[in-house]
Chain A
Amino acid sequence: MAENPPSPSETEVATLIVETLQLDMPVSTIEMDAPLFGDGLGLDSIDALELSLAIKRQYGVELRSDNADKVDIFRSVRSLTHYIAAHSPS
């Protein structure tokens, strides 16, 4: 099955990740479904914390670990984008 191309909002979130964490990689090389932690981008909990502040600043969405829906927020760029979209103040 062909992979879904990134949506504009996914590209925007990927850009936020690259710029916030000063990753040395072009946004276009980030796979939207690749894990953000571990083997994917290799991010750790400090990165998650920094990213949470940038997301709050940019989108007004506050991340918390114990959300009732238990979404694995940082699973991938795609899941993070979905989470932000679902929780953005209208």
Chain B
Amino acid sequence: MHAFPLLGHPAAPLFRTPERLITGNDVLHAAHALAATLPPRPIINLCRDRLYFTAAFCAAVLRGQYSVLPGSRAAGPLAHLLALYPDAAIVTDADLPPCPLPAATPVIRLSALSAEGAGTAANPDIAATQVVAHILTSGSTGTPVAHAKTWGGLTRRALASVGLFTPVPGSVATIVGTVPPYHMYGFETTVIQPLVTGCISTTGPALFPADIRARLEQGPQPCILLTTPLHIRTFLSDHTPLPPIARVISATAPLDAATAEMAERCWHAPVFEIYGSTETGSIATRRTTAAQAWRLHSGISLHPRLDGTASIHAPGAPSHVVADAITPLTPDTFRLEGRMTDIIKIAGQRTSLAGLNAILLGIQGVEDGTFIAPAPDAAPGQPVGRMEVVVVAPTRPAPDILAELRMRVPPAFLPRRVVRVAALPRNEMGKLTRAALLALVHEPPPATTAQDAGCFRIAPDHPALAGHFPGCPIVPGAVVLSEVFGLMGVAPARLEQIKFLHPVRPGDTVRVTHTTQPLAFTCTVGMQVVAKGRLRNDAHA
């Protein structure tokens, strides 16, 4: 029978906390101590800190139990999870979401890990067939579906990805992850990969750009920034240089080539994408700026189906039909053609439009209605798109509907707007078109048509650029604004709102258009909107 050790390199550092390096042996000692206290039940692993999460995961494996990964820590999904796993125990390192717990559910709160046990801890071989994790996805009805992961399947996937996680041959890399460990992408890359192939995973906050800089500065080098397109776009729009990065790895949604190219230029590191799913784990990779084609990890094979999708075969895992249209190019490369189904992904979480709509239509007083998904590809520097809801519900005010949805829908998919209408704009076939829905929920265009205010261009030798963003010069927003105010002939003090949506480069020609009711301006470079602002209409005040 095949088996793989729980840790590939127990003597080596496995975690970098803000304070120190933690070796594999430290984690094993803590896991053995925790395993001795765990009830003989599956555990719902709600730990946010990667070190605590990994210790709890290893403790469950040592007990022959599996960990349930929630995918989200929100109250609604957790309630579903407790219904699906009534016999599970919860392990957490933070306050639980406000969700009623069955009286019989044990809750184990981790506030410190046992540091007892000197020397080498037992590092047993784990059978390849042992189920070590259940990972949840939203099914088409909105109810979570569990996917069982075996130790052999996860280990083989990590071994196949070792090249991706070795940006500098011969050096152990540090992974700075911005994704949580209880989501498949973060689990595979920041928990399993370090356990199996010996890279170092970082703990500590990794949300804001300042957090990420602190984690990267700590190293040890070389560092991999493991993140998502959403984080890459926001970090780029922050305009603050990051410490050295050897490689950027992105997953959860397609990364557009323009953002990848900007990230490579600003951070001086190649950007790789991972393609995969909760069902299959990581199966392919590509360097976004170099190739349209994806290369399958070794051991993975792809079998095209008549409907344009493909079935994925990976050792140690059930075969799975992906939700994307795929064109095979060679036996180990393929091109992604787009989504086949109504699957929506926001912030690495996945759900189906049909599932969301089923929840919406189940709310009392809702006669008709639909969620509207955001446009899939936001431009670099643009905020992430969010869901909207349009609904026919004569007796329920919009805040009521939002409150009901909040109980049932993960926060990433909660609508930003709930627009009540008398009837949905169904066409003669009874279908709703996206264009008709968007026209219904979005505000009418400004009352006055935009007038051209003129153009400006900031020369590369403008004094404001010196030292502003070395190696990747960007025109400061204040310089853009002063040019706009000059062209419009208004006082800067009247500025009410400004959004910089895309960086302006030295040498770009910026066109300024404005409206008078409301008093607002838009700056564009080519077809790209780079800034939008609104001014107070108080010229006569």
Co-assembled chains A and B: yes
B contact residues around A34 at 8 Å (CB): none
The distance from the CB of A23 to the nearest CB of chain B, in whole angstroms, is 7
- Say if the beta carbon of B414 comes within 8 Å of chain A: yes
User: A25-43 CB contact bits vs B (8 Å, 1 = yes)?
Assistant: 0000000000000110011
Contact B18 A44 (CB under 8 A): no
A56–B416 Cα distance when bound, in Å, is 23
A contact residues around B211 at 8 Å (CB): 64-66
Q: Which of A24, A46, A65 contacts B230 (CB 8 A)?
A: A46
Closest to B18 in A: A66
Q: Which of A48, A50, A64 contacts B210 (CB 8 A)?
A: A64
Given A42-B411, A49-B208, A65-B208, the answer on whether A56 and B406 have CB atoms closer than 8 Å is no
Contact A42 B406 (CB under 8 A): yes
- Say if the beta carbon of B334 comes within 8 Å of chain A: no
Contact B386 A22 (CB under 8 A): yes
Given A21-B416, A22-B416, A46-B412, the answer on whether A52 and B208 have CB atoms closer than 8 Å is yes
The distance from the CB of B350 to the nearest CB of chain A, in whole angstroms, is 15
A69–B539 Cα distance when bound, in Å, is 44
Closest to B441 in A: A24
A contact residues around B75 at 8 Å (CB): 38
User: B387-422 CB contact bits vs A (8 Å, 1 = yes)?
Assistant: 000000000001000100010000110101110000
Closest to B206 in A: A65
B contact residues around A64 at 8 Å (CB): 205, 208, 210-211, 214
The distance from the CB of A27 to the nearest CB of chain B, in whole angstroms, is 12
A42–B401 Cα distance when bound, in Å, is 13
The distance from the CB of B475 to the nearest CB of chain A, in whole angstroms, is 14
Give the interface segment out of B155-163, B231-239, B281-289, B484-492.
B231-239
A66–B477 Cα distance when bound, in Å, is 28
- Say if the beta carbon of A45 comes within 8 Å of chain B: yes
Contact A66 B238 (CB under 8 A): no
B contact residues around A62 at 8 Å (CB): 208-210
A88–B210 Cα distance when bound, in Å, is 16
A contact residues around B406 at 8 Å (CB): 39, 42
- Say if the beta carbon of B384 comes within 8 Å of chain A: yes
Contact B416 A23 (CB under 8 A): yes
- Say if the beta carbon of B207 comes within 8 Å of chain A: yes
Known: A24-B417, A66-B211, A66-B214. 13 other contacts (CB 8 A): A24-B418, A38-B98, A42-B402, A44-B411, A46-B384, A50-B234, A56-B238, A62-B208, A62-B209, A63-B210, A64-B208, A64-B214, A66-B205
14 A-B residue pairs with CB within 8 Å: A19-B497, A22-B386, A22-B417, A24-B417, A42-B402, A45-B347, A49-B234, A52-B207, A53-B209, A53-B234, A57-B500, A62-B210, A66-B204, A66-B211
A-B pairs with the 8 shortest C-beta distances? A65-B205, A64-B210, A44-B411, A24-B417, A52-B208, A63-B208, A62-B210, A65-B211
Which residues of B approach A to under 8 Å, CB–CB?
Answer: 18, 75, 97-98, 204-211, 214, 230-231, 234, 237-238, 346-347, 383-384, 386, 398, 402, 406, 411-412, 414, 416-418, 477, 497-498, 500
